[in-house]
Amino acid sequence: MTSSKRDYIAGFIAFFFGICILLASFGISKTKLAGVGPDYLPKVIAIYIIGLSSFYLLSLVFSKTPSKEKNQKEATAIENKTLLLTIALLIAYVALIESLGFLLVSALFLFGQMYVLAPDKNRNKKNIIFFAVLAIVVPIAVYLLFVNVFDLMLPAGILG
């Protein structure tokens, strides 16, 4: 399958996924404890997904440059390896979040995901340090936001 066919398929899948989320969000009960109800965010995300996938499909249709075919087997092998590592990281995240806690597991997950998704040329010492700093700062910021602003507790694990 050529990359342009895959691009169209990915665009249509994302569009269909957005439609499904939008339709499912109408089934959420409309209780309002704050300014907006629990159906608000799923609807916003669905509209963003639909809009972005539509824009992506339109850009494919009106693109004047043909897609460049690279070494297909090598690219597919790299994509498959990245996909499998991402799935493994997600499974580990879900399995460990209750026991180790949000901060620790999120930092490890973010570092691992950034390392997996970074091209080989960007896996140098400078970027690895940047990955580590970002993987520590982002979960702390999210934790503080959820605990102090939203007044929601995240799993503390061994740290709490």
The secondary structure of 40-69, three-state, reads HHHHHHHHHHHHHHHHHHHHHHCCCCCCCC
134's CB contacts (< 8 A; 6+ apart) are 110, 114
Start-to-end Cα distance in the chain: 50
For the whole model, what pTM was predicted? 0.58
Contact at 8 Å (CB) between 5 and 60?
Answer: no
Give tens-digit pLDDT for 97-108: 989 999 999 999
* Tokens matching residue 159: 């740290």
Q: Is the pLDDT of residue 14 over 80?
A: yes
What are the boundaries of each domain within the chain? 1-69, 71-160
Average predicted confidence (pLDDT) for the chain: 85
